[in-house]
Amino acid sequence: MRYDTEGVHINAHGGCVLYHNGTYYWYGEYRNPKKEGTPGTQGVGCYSSTDLYNWKKEGVVLSVVDDPNSDITAGCKIERPKVIYNEKTGKFVMWFHLEFKGRGYGTARAALAVADNPQGPFQLLHSLRPNAGRWPMNFPDSRKTALTSEQMKREIAGNNTWPAIRDGAYTRYNFEDGQMVRDMTLFVDENGKAYLVASAEENYTIHIHELTDDYLDLTGKWIRVEPSGHNEAPALMKRNGKYYMLVSGCTGWEPNDARLLVADSIWGPWKKAAYNPCVGTNPFNNMGPDKTFGGQSTYILSVHGKPNAYIAMFDVWRPKVQLIESGYIWLPIAFENDKMVIRWRSQWDLGVFNN
């Protein structure tokens, strides 16, 4: 549990932390308490801190609206919002996973919003399915034909499900309308290029989409990562020229084992590490690496001014109580013999990065 400076449980789930001009901004899903008739999501909440310990509530920086024609009409789902700052335009750019009202998780769209200030307000631009009509760069020419829904269902029927998904049955089916976006993150590389990284293809395959220089659109360059690997909750970092992507398995709100994907280029090849980076047991719930201490990855935050100081952020989902009460686990990331290690610590402070 983490509390804001007023002593209230922080409401910023599936979030991220942006450092800007001496202040950290923590953005996340601002959930409503479970009351009959209340839509689950209120919007995106923001908290600020200058030390990463004390978090002041800035408020709801993007809110659902009453207009039934808006993509973010009350009752929609806004999940895993991520905010990055564009040096060239001076705008704060937010992308998030959007599900239209009343459609469960079937819409699987990305939405984007912009603001002039980190504390918002963010204005919704639109929502989309990325890269409609564009094939991934790592897709064989022989399979570059779109599939209808019936053709896709035939491909994945019977014993052929996993190979058919691996070979792109969903990619081909989604070709014309654009690819799915569910759990997602944003990653900004050292050269300022940014990427939307999303769980797609019914959560079977991760997609990496390059954003345009203003971060408001897609360049059309994209790849599939770990086809049919069944991963979600991506969180990225880069160290010594290597890219690391932490992901989880797909078990709804229940925790599972974290997985690590590593690459020398954002465009791959991405290889699944043979080990789980989590080590130890969370004594509060007795959960170890096979359950990611009870959490699910959402972001890797880089501590400003401290080289190689990375913090892995996890959500502890509490759907049975109510999602607004979901907790947070933040742990320092270490590298031991070039292996990523996220060791359980019941208590720690930023001093761990001095060693």
**Minimal distance in Å, beta carbon 311 to ligand DGJ?**
19
Nearer to ligand DGJ, 105 or 349 (CB): 105
Q: Is 79 in the site for ligand DGJ (CB under 6 A)?
A: yes
Single residue of 15, 26, 80, 136 touching ligand DGJ by CB under 6 A: 80
Burial class of residue 295, CB neighbours in 10 A (0-12, 13-18, 19+): buried
Least Cα distance to 305 among 17, 21, 11 occurs for: 21
Nearer to ligand DGJ, 112 or 233 (CB): 233
Q: Is 14 in the site for ligand DGJ (CB under 6 A)?
A: yes
Single residue of 22, 37, 252, 307 touching ligand DGJ by CB under 6 A: 252
Nearer to ligand DGJ, 147 or 200 (CB): 200
Single residue of 3, 162, 253, 275 touching ligand DGJ by CB under 6 A: 253
State the Cα–Cα distance between residues 92 and 136, nearest whole angstrom: 28
State the Cα–Cα distance between residues 151 and 222, nearest whole angstrom: 24
Nearer to ligand DGJ, 48 or 248 (CB): 248
Least Cα distance to 108 among 6, 176, 178, 168 occurs for: 178
Nearer to ligand DGJ, 122 or 314 (CB): 314
Nearer to ligand DGJ, 48 or 185 (CB): 185
Q: Which of residues 44-73 bind ligand DGJ (CB under 6 A)?
A: none
Burial class of residue 119, CB neighbours in 10 A (0-12, 13-18, 19+): middle
**Minimal distance in Å, beta carbon 13 to ligand DGJ?**
8
Residue 161 has phi, psi (to 5 degrees) of -55, -60
Q: Is 183 in the site for ligand DGJ (CB under 6 A)?
A: yes
**Minimal distance in Å, beta carbon 189 to ligand DGJ?**
24
Q: Which single residue brings its beta carbon nearest to ligand DGJ?
A: 252
**Minimal distance in Å, beta carbon 304 to ligand DGJ?**
27
Residue by residue, DSSP assigns 83-151 as: EEEETTTTEEEEEEEEE-TTSTT-S-EEEEEEESSTT-PPEEEEEE-TTTT---TTS-GGG-S---HHH
Radius of gyration of the chain (CA): 19
**Minimal distance in Å, beta carbon 15 to ligand DGJ?**
11
Q: Is 99 in the site for ligand DGJ (CB under 6 A)?
A: no
Burial class of residue 2, CB neighbours in 10 A (0-12, 13-18, 19+): middle
Least Cα distance to 229 among 250, 208, 204 occurs for: 204
Q: Is 202 in the site for ligand DGJ (CB under 6 A)?
A: no
Q: Is 232 in the site for ligand DGJ (CB under 6 A)?
A: yes
Binding site for ligand DGJ (CB under 6 A): 14, 79-80, 183, 232-233, 252-253, 296
